[in-house]
């Protein structure tokens, strides 16, 4: 199943067109997306480092979550909303970008990691709330989260580069397959 | 305003011709890697600044003294600051001429200088002073000043790309 017809349709909608060709809106949305990184990811990094027992070790886990959670959630909402708008502005190229695809995969894995953490060791947080160094399962979740977010940030930055774009042929077959490029047969053979 | 009013063109030409400038501007991959590290450090410095400033505003981890949070955040602030400066210098070396004439770059450096001095002097003294030494109003003013200055760095930095 390919979403290509859907993103092609999306690209033709008036809103997408307006955003793509706007002078101010697109840069503003992009800036909001990048600068909210400080709010959401910055605090998430501090949270993960606490999970690793590296910093804020004298502060109970639940206190950090209670006080920083709303800020992280707010930042996350802005990041997702602006991220969706950025995709909406440039749907086809984003959909066929291996970096965007890598970013989506890493985001899903981050969600799974958070789910495993919350439904596992986090349920017994009362037992290790004040431990300077949380139990191994919590540390693993923190480390995995940091790695995945780093992948998400780097992949996100790379979307701007066109090395592997579908309209830049020939590309290695693997790149075309991963990006879902539709390449005319004679072009792919070269 | 931009840096050309300081008449540094010979210096800019030298940076541009240097092996570092040539190497980075000649490799899109290298540039992308440096940009990525710059961005990762941005997240860390954002967290390290925000966790303290939110506490100063009475909106963060209220149960803990400002000083405890500030002491834990300090090394993360300093290290991410250093990484941002090093990657920032490398990014500058990749396109010194453009930045020399760029007003947003001039503002970014101005904000950066003021924000850094403020963080290491006034803010540092206030956050490490201990409970009750400064009134909540002073703490809030310091936090708002700090957040405004760093937002100035980030926003003008972002604007360089649109010049």
Residue of B38, B72, B147, B150 to mutate for A, most A C-beta atoms under 10 A: B72
User: In this complex, is the C-beta atom of A161 within 8 Å of any C-beta atom belonging to chain B?
Assistant: yes
Instruction: Decide if A157 touches B, using CB distance below 8 A.
Output: yes
For residues A35 and B158, is the Cβ–Cβ distance under 8 A?
Answer: yes
pLDDT tens sequence for chain A (190 residues): 689 999 999 999 999 999 999 989 999 999 999 999 999 999 999 999 999 999 999 999 999 999 999 999 999 999 999 999 999 999 999 999 999 999 999 999 999 999 999 999 999 999 999 999 999 999 999 999 999 999 999 999 999 998 888 888 888 889 898 988 888 766 655 5
- Reduced DSSP (H G I as helix, E B as strand, rest coil) percent helix, strand, coil of chain A, to 5: 75, 0, 25
Say if residues B51 and B73 touch (Cβ distance below 8 Å).
yes
Please judge whether B47 and A154 are an interchain contact, meaning their C-beta atoms are less than 8 angstroms apart.
no
What pTM value is reported for the model? 0.94
Residues 103-132 of A with CB under 8 A from B: none
Taking an 8 Å cut-off on Cβ atoms, the answer to whether B61 and A59 are in contact is yes
- Give the closest-approach CA distance of B9 to chain A in angstroms: 30
pLDDT in tens, A55-76: 999 999 999 999 999 999 999 9
Q: What whole-number distance in Å separates Cα of residue B25 and Cα of residue B4?
A: 21
Residues B49 and A98: their CA atoms lie apart, in Å, by 33
C-alpha torsion angle, residues A62, A47, B53, B146 (rounded to 10) = -170
Q: Is A28 on the interface with B (CB under 8 A)?
A: no
Nearest chain A Cα to B47, which residue? Answer: A42
- Choose the closest CB to A38 out of B35, B43, B60: B43
- Return averaged pLDDT per consecutive 10 residues of chain B, 163 residues in all: 89 92 91 95 97 96 94 96 97 94 96 98 94 92 97 93 75
Q: Does B158 contact A49 at a Cβ distance shorter than 8 Å?
A: no
Cβ pair B155, A31 in contact under 8 A: yes
Contact B49 A38 (CB under 8 A): yes
Q: Do A44 and B47 touch (CB under 8 A)?
A: yes
**Interface contacts A/B by beta carbons within 8 Å:** 100
CB A53 within 8 A of CB A139: yes
Look at residue A187 in the predicted model and tell me its pLDDT.
64
A139 Cβ neighbours under 8 A, 6+ residues apart: A51, A52, A53, A133
ipTM, 2 dp: 0.93
Cβ contacts (< 8 Å) between B35 and chain A: which residues?
157
What value does the mean pLDDT of chain B take?
A: 94
Q: How many domains does chain B have?
A: 1
What is the C-alpha to C-alpha distance for residues A26 and A85, in angstroms, rounded to an integer? 9
Report the residue from A63, A68, A157 with minimal CB separation from B39. A157
CA distance B55 to chain A (A): 9
Whether A173 has its CB under 8 Å from any CB of chain B: the answer is no
Determine the structural domain holding residue B34 and report its residue range.
3-160
Judge: A31–B155 Cβ closer than 8 Å, yes or no: yes
């Amino acid at each position: 199943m390919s979403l290509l017809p859907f993103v092609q349709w999306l690209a033709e909608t008036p809103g997408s067109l307006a955003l793509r060709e706007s002078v101010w809106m697109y840069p503003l949305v992009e800036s909001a997306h990048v600068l909210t990184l400080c709010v959401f990811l910055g605090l998430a990094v501090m949270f993960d480092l606490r999970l690793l027992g590296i910093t804020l070790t004298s502060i109970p886990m639940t206190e950090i979550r209670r006080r920083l959670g709303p800020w992280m959630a707010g930042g996350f909402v802005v990041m997702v909303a602006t991220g969706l708008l950025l995709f909406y502005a440039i749907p086809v190229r984003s959909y066929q970008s291996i970096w965007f695809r890598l970013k989506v995969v890493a985001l899903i894995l981050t969600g799974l990691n958070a789910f495993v953490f919350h439904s596992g060791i986090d349920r017994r947080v009362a037992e290790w709330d004040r431990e300077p160094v949380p139990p191994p399962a919590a540390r693993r979740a923190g480390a995995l989260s940091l790695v995945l977010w780093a992948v998400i940030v780097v992949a996100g930055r790379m979307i701007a580069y066109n090395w592997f774009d579908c309209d830049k042929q020939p590309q290695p077959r693997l790149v075309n397959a991963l990006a879902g490029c539709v390449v005319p047969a004679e072009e792919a053979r070269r | 305003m931009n840096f050309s009013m300081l008449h540094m063109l010979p210096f800019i030409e030298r940076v541009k011709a240097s092996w570092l400038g040539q190497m980075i501007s000649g490799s899109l991959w290298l540039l992308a890697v440096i940009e990525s590290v710059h961005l990762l450090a941005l997240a860390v410095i954002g967290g390290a600044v925000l966790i303290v400033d939110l506490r100063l505003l009475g909106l963060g981890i209220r149960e803990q003294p400002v000083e405890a949070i500030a002491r834990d955040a300090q090394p993360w602030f300093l290290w991410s600051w250093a990484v941002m400066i090093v990657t920032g210098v490398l990014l500058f070396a990749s396109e010194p001429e453009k930045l020399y004439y760029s007003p947003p770059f001039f503002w970014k450096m101005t904000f950066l200088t003021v924000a850094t001095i403020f963080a290491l002097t006034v803010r540092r003294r206030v956050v490490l002073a201990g409970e009750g030494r400064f009134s909540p109003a002073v703490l809030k003013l310091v936090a708002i000043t700090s957040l405004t200055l760093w937002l100035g760095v980030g926003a003008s930095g972002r604007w360089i790309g649109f010049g």
